[in-house]
């Protein structure tokens, strides 16, 4: 590899740590808070692992988990079953790994992303070829949301 490419990688890694981790193959650490009995949360973390993330999980009682979500700035109408944090952002529910990577690359001034509810066919909610349409929402700091990505149904 020539010196310019190496220098570019070094500069890029200083400007965007998440991008550097992808280039070097280092897994992105993500902390997932969930309840102990939720199978779809575990399925979602498996999807994250397959996509190059390094999830750690911790179990909370249901009431604690709701308080945790609200404290982090997740609006009530955007709540799902698990809540993750990564590099200062919140990831609520069954957000696809590629949308998390896009969030980290674009770095908007926002709380994070959410997939409200538990839509069939979203990562971790896989049930064969059946899919419900769903949106990934960007949660703004004022609590408002806007569509970040949309996924069609089958």
Write out the DSSP string of 83-94: EEEETTEEEEES
**pLDDT tens-digit readout, 63-110:** 999 999 999 999 999 999 999 999 999 999 999 999 999 999 999 999
Model confidence, pTM: 0.83
CA distances from 83 to 20, 33, 96, 140 (A): 25, 5, 13, 16
**pLDDT tens-digit readout, 131-149:** 999 999 999 999 999 999 9
Q: Supply the pLDDT for residue 25.
A: 63
Q: Please, what are the domains in the chain?
A: 28-151 (3.40.30.10)
**pLDDT tens-digit readout, 28-45:** 999 999 999 989 999 999
Q: Supply the pLDDT for residue 127.
A: 86
- Residue 53, helix vs strand vs coil: strand
User: Rounded to an integer, what distance in angstroms lies between the CA atom of residue 78 and that of residue 80?
Assistant: 7
């Amino acid at each position: 590899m020539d010196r310019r490419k190496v220098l570019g990688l070094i500069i890029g890694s200083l400007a965007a740590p998440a991008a550097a981790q992808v280039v070097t193959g280092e897994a992105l650490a993500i902390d997932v808070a969930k309840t102990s009995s939720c199978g779809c949360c575990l399925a979602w973390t498996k999807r994250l692992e397959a996509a190059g993330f390094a999830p750690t999980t911790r179990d909370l009682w249901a009431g604690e988990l709701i308080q945790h979500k609200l404290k982090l700035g997740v609006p009530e109408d955007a709540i799902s079953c698990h809540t993750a944090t990564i590099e200062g952002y919140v990831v609520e529910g069954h957000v696809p790994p590629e949308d998390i990577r896009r969030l980290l690359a674009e770095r908007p001034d926002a709380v994070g992303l959410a997939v409200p509810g538990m839509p069939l066919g979203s990562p971790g909610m896989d049930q064969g070829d059946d899919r419900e349409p769903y949106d990934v929402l960007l949660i703004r700091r004022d609590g408002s949301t806007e569509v970040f990505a949309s996924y069609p149904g089958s």
